[in-house]
Structure 1
């Protein structure tokens, strides 16, 4: 693996550097993506790109035109979705492709709670593909749909947990002459072993990590590493060829929250008092800044509670000191900024961890002490 790709891997997985930009697939202008006709196997609620339900459902066993490349949308659970061609609508890929489950007990296929669909017996230990959630039959038991025609179901209690997503699983073949290193990510990167050219692996996640350079020093955008199924081992996209393209995940946006400063911004302490760093504030800037909490803090100077983000880092680009001097960065320490002064940009959307009443109650002893 070349040094540049290793740098992006370390930054992405270990969070060692601030992430300044994201190549989110949903919000990025891209070349026209090919579409395909697929069959919806389980009635599918449509969502917008922010995870909100829209007033459309796509019925089971009807065909729908979707963009061929599935996407990971930027909201939990970061599952793959297909975009409806020509519309700002997304449906869960698992309702089209299905997921694999291990059969725990020999199972018949049913059409209704009292009638079998056919004479098949699905043997214990095999794997089958199911679509969507469970359906409750008149007998009170729950079943998974397993395919078509429409009325084919297996008792949910006879099946185990999901073992694979058909959307996010493919075969990767090593194509690099001399083989390729296999990397483990565990508090750093290290090579576990080397795989010979022609070796195949089942991979179940594509992690996008920025740019890499190939052997001709040509920049490869949206460089990807592939996770070997069932392990914490990864393959370099430049060294393998995959049977089908997987949706790309973005580690940082799936694990962290980011804001941006669109104006010079005041910085506060945990007790709601405004910091005084020789008159400096966090200045307007383009980078995405990591935050880890959203909470209400009582602001004594305003006699009210306001919503704040807790800053993950301490050092930020700042406005100049009143005398015109000062470096570009200042250590603001453990700090907070008003949510109304910044914009949420990407990643995990935070919810307040308290209420305005709790913030006021928290500040009450301090307020009472000041009045005494």
Structure 2
């Protein structure tokens, strides 16, 4: 009779759409019921790899392609117990297969989200519930759970704490959350709410945030030292260090090359991909290869305080003195050319100095707007200083103080609108 009542209760829970799978505290009991009654939870997944219990690709799983992958909207059955497989939180889907729980899009036909931390269920007043539907309210890390509200498109993410991003950060949406006593919660139905901060995936999409608290760890220091170096907005190291245990808030990421302007700056000393994180309300960054476990952050697609311009037509490149950049060859330097009709004979040609031009449609970052006196035109003109050298080497004359393009030769693309650092009437002739 006791087992009959338990099976009846489980059937009722499924009928009313209770879509959290792992019921912590009674996991063995639920698993036993599932096995004895052959009752399983149905999940729908986004396209995903299927793994073996050791974390390898399961190429023998029914329905996978030659790469061991299941297609979008595949429906599977699971007992709902979260297992760790090669550092991934996974569901056992039978036949020796395991799938990452972050790939779950639906549970029993209800849209799903996946939590990234052990989490309790709360009521509408933000009060922790110890019991939810007669079970412990503790949800384990990796659990997929149904949500009530629909995802809504956004024109921008202004004012949104948590949101979703797609199409290379050109499209935005969010799952509406309720703010209770300053904390955001998602509605999971029947009077239950989950802290939004604990949700890492919604309908298999990564959850982004507008800012994330970070505590410096040994892992962030690559286990080699006890602090993290702070960089300025040009990607240059400063004397400032953040010690293990210090807390900061980060709100954006930026690729190393974008910040520094130097190709090949994407890897750390050991060859691992690194990323710069912007410290909120500052012009400072920290570089992290390992150890960031927070929500995804929007990425700066260009450096702070710079402007991107596009060259309208082939245009001369200028020095800081308003003269053309010259590709110079020593007059005594001759190139020996082979005469194809007389391969054993050569003749010499004199190579002349040439004016360097920046090509049409070239896009460049510029860091400064400045009026320069142009001797050849006997007037001052507005120029932009290039962030990174367009040319480099001893043969290019006059570029020691930077390379410039005329403002009239380019058009604005994106970024900060630069204000001239001087005026035309103050330029020294």
The two structures have a TM-score, normalised by structure 2, of 0.33
Structure of greater relative contact order (alpha carbons < 8 Å, 6+ residues apart): 1
Higher alpha-carbon Rg? 2
